[in-house]
Amino acid sequence: MNTAVFLTIFISAVFVNNVILSRFLGLCSFIAISKQTKPALAMSLAVMFVTTMSSIITWLIYRFLLIPLDMTYLRTISFILVIATFVQFVEMVIRKIAPPMYRFFGIYLPLITVNCAVLGVAVLNSDMFFIDSKSVPGGFLFSTFQGICVGIGYTLAMLLMSAIRERLELCNVPKALKDFPLGFIIASIMSMSFMGFNGFRF
Amino acid sequence: MRNKLLVTTSPHIHTDESTARIMWMVIISLIPAGIAGIFIFGRDALWTIFLGIISALIAEGILQLLTKRKVTVLDGSAVLTGLLLSYNLPANVPFWIPIIGSFFAIAVGKQVFGGLGQNIFNPALVGRAFLVASWPKYLTTFPKPLSYDAVTSATPLAILKESKIVEHISYLDLFLGKKGGCIGEVCIAALLLGALFLLLRGYISWHIPVSFIVTTGMLTYIFGADGLFSGDWLFHILSGGLILGAFFMATDYVTSPLTKKGHIIFGIGCGLITAVIRLWGGYPEGVSFSILMMNAATPLIDRYTKSRIYGTKTRISNEKSN
Amino acid sequence: MKNLIKEFLKGIIKENPTFVLALGLCPTLAVSISVINGIGMGIAATFVLVGSNLIISLIKNFVPDRIRIPCFIVVIATFVTITELTMKAYFPPLNRALGIYVPLIVVNCIVLGRAEAFASKNNVIRSLFDGIGMGIGFTLALILISSIREFLGAGKILGLTVIKGFQPAFAIGMPSGALLVIGLLLGFFNLIKKENK
């Protein structure tokens, strides 16, 4: 039973409902940062780390704080505060341990806070793995795993996109379509191709 | 700005003439499959192919005029796109399907990137993906082979997906094309004839088709039936768009990797995705999707399989682990 | 007064958040499947935008600089929660249609972007007009995109069939269609801008 569920979460989060190409979460950073592979990879790994950790923390808060105290309406506020705090914390740690990496990330590290993908997967987890204010059995593992998979899906889309855009730098694209418009069109075709995994049943 | 110095487009052939020549050679190699398709499905097939090609030509002409670029409709690439697109359609589609499909293929699959040699995705498959997503009903209703009337029949892969049992169809029928399917994909014999021509003349290399087909065959053999290692791999290889895709669409120079190593990776990737979709996905066939996905991965593959002679630094993973 | 009108109008055309500033694209693409959803999201986002711009420009002098972003987020999140609860209570079908994109207004780049770029540096009245202008610009962009998508993708506008026998292209209603439509629209607007130069 379990392998099937995990496999389904994986295929769903990485391909069929890819966080960027299908749910449109994290688009701003996607279009802005995916012009080169190096920053794209760095950003993706950072995002994956944050989505995983915030999936864990927000699940715990939802399960052990908001539900017992009957304050699930505070979900949005508490989740975003957790994420903002966590990103701030990560920022401080990186600044201490690896200053060159901190400089490398620049402004994009704090921008992870408002990356829709992070809050999105936290909200998604609480919608998918809690029924009637009770946790689905195994919900914690599912949520964490989904957090990881969303990060993987984000990384996949970013890597593919950045390599494509690097190559397109050498082509003479019609002027009106340069950069943003073409980026969206490429994302559209990628999204169409990922549709091939629809209806996946293991 | 850099573009003013760039006089050639991939695959870096010296004159436009040669690029055109390759296009027309590929078109010629596809003619047997087209004739077979018309024989098996009747006049509808001829009509669809015609509309596909004409629309592609008109689309390319209009767009090149609008964007004030050189009009190159005679170089064969638009014809090839229209031809391949119509080969991927059932013979009995409404007339506007190949028209819209070709327009979309040329416009979104090719011209937005800057034209020949610069597209990332195979234009014909871009057009087909759009059609499949937009009008699934028309793209999955197939006419009965050799009956020339309005009776429809499902493809062998569709039957397999529905009922989990392989239809009682002989390998010979699968090989010759007496089955439901798209115009250009059904007659394996004709396709292999054309493929042989291209291989012998050196227009395509064996790496992509072989790695593609072998991967799909292996995976369907291992996982294709209830017990392990008992799948009907021959059925899978002879069904669907695998032969058409592996020899004529995955091998497109512009949208596949540059190195031989890259070719093998590309082929294995396509084979893997095709098998996964056929075995466990919702669609009965996955060839078009797999090629498009691997098209997207091609720049990435190229980046990591290029030779290191330029003294490039070690890969990102090494840098990050410091 | 003229200045205020200018603040208001810039959000609609010259600095349209969607087509010029390229902000808030996540919800734009997701909810633009039908015009009703587009209008609903536009109104919700405008409410949050105006509210947060107002409060933030009021408290801007009392907020220490280092923690201003988290403070802004709390203000925005409060308005979003109000919106969420109101929608759940009075417009359940719309709430279900918009799904996770309602709470995601919190991280909508438009809201935080205007708070940081404008409301934290301008007085209350100007921030108010900026908020309304941007909100309306956003809503208009949503209406444009969702009309195209609803018509081509489902053959309807506002839920009503327009042309009989028209076979809509389902792909337009899907995520890939959204990306395609916005890519082409952005290209189209770029073209117009260039012609006007």
Angle at C115 (CA atoms; ends C18, A85), nearest 5 degrees = 105
pLDDT at B17 over 60: no
Give B130's contacts in chain A (Cβ within 8 Å). 192
For residues B261-269, average pLDDT:
93
* CB-CB under 8 Å, A193 with B293: yes
Paired tokens of A112: 């992870």
Q: Do B133 and C180 count as a contact with CB atoms less than 8 A apart?
A: no
Across the interface, which of A85, A110, A119 has its CB nearest the CB of C106? A119
* Secondary structure class of A157 (helix, strand, coil): helix
Residue B5 CA to residue B278 CA, distance in Å, equals: 45
Strand partners, A131: A134
Q: Please determine, for residue B79, whether its predicted confidence score (pLDDT) is greater than 80.
A: yes
Q: Tell me, what's the pLDDT at B12? A: 56
| Nearest residue, CB atoms, C175 vs list A21, A73, A76 | A21
Could you read off the pLDDT of B162-209 as tens digits, one per residue?
A: 877 766 778 888 888 888 889 989 888 899 999 999 999 888 889 999
Which pLDDT does position B203 carry in this prediction?
86
Higher pLDDT, B13 or A109: A109
Return the number of other C-beta atoms located less than 10 Å from residue C128's C-beta.
Answer: 20
Mean pLDDT of all residues in C165-181: 85
Q: How far is A147 from chain B (nearest CA, A)?
A: 22
Show residues of chain A in contact with C85, CB under 8 Å: 73
Residue type, B277: I
> Does position B9 have pLDDT exceeding 60, yes or no?
no
Q: Which of A3, A164, A194, A200 to mutate to test the interface with B (most CBs of B within 10 A)?
A: A164
Closest CA of chain B from A30, distance in Å: 16
Model's pTM, two decimal places?
A: 0.86
In this predicted structure, the answer to whether residue C109 has a pLDDT above a threshold of 90 is no
* Residues of chain C contacting A127 with CB distance shorter than 8 Å: 100
pLDDT band at residue B7, thresholds of 50, 70 and 90?
low
* Residue C194 sits at the chain A interface (C-beta within 8 Å): yes
Question: Which among B179, B270, B168, B264 is positioned nearest to B219, based on CA atoms?
Answer: B270
CB spacing of B134 vs C180 below 8 angstroms: no
Regarding predicted confidence, which is higher, B271 or B150?
B271
Name the one residue in this structure whose structure tokens are 């943003």. Answer: A180
Domain boundaries, chain A: 29-167
The CA distance from B208 to B269, in Å, is 10
* Residue whose C-alpha is closest to residue A45's, from A190, A191, A148: A148
Contact C73 A88 (CB under 8 A): no
How far apart, in whole angstroms, are the C-alpha atoms of residue B207 and residue A101? 41
What stretches in chain A show pLDDT beneath 50? none
Q: Which token pair is B132?
A: 């499949």
Q: Count other Cβ atoms within 10 Å, centred on residue C90.
A: 9
Per-residue model confidence (pLDDT) at position C197: 59
Per-residue pLDDT, B318? 41
> Residue A17: what pLDDT?
86
List Cβ neighbours of B210 (8 Å cut-off, separation of 6 or more): B267
| pLDDT (tens digit per residue) in B119-158 | 899 999 999 999 998 998 888 888 888 877 777 888 888 8
Binned at pLDDT 50, 70 and 90, residue B319 comes out as: very low
Quote the ipTM score. 0.85
Q: What is the DSSP string of C126-139?
A: HHHHHHHHHHHHHH
Report CB contact under 8 Å: B133, C167.
no
Q: Which domains does chain B have, with CATH numbers?
A: 2-305 (1.10.3430)
Write out chain C residues lying below 8 Å of A185, CB-based: 179-180, 183-184
From chain A, pick out residues whose CB is under 8 angstroms from the CB of B306.
none
Task: Tokens 């989060």: give the residue.
Answer: A13
Coil, helix or strand at residue B162: helix
Average of per-residue pLDDT across C115-138: 84
- Report the pLDDT value the prediction gives residue B11, as an integer from 0 to 100: 58
Contact B75, B27 (CB under 8 A): no
CA angle A16, A20, A25 (to 5 degrees): 120
Q: Domain ranges for chain C, please list them.
A: 2-196
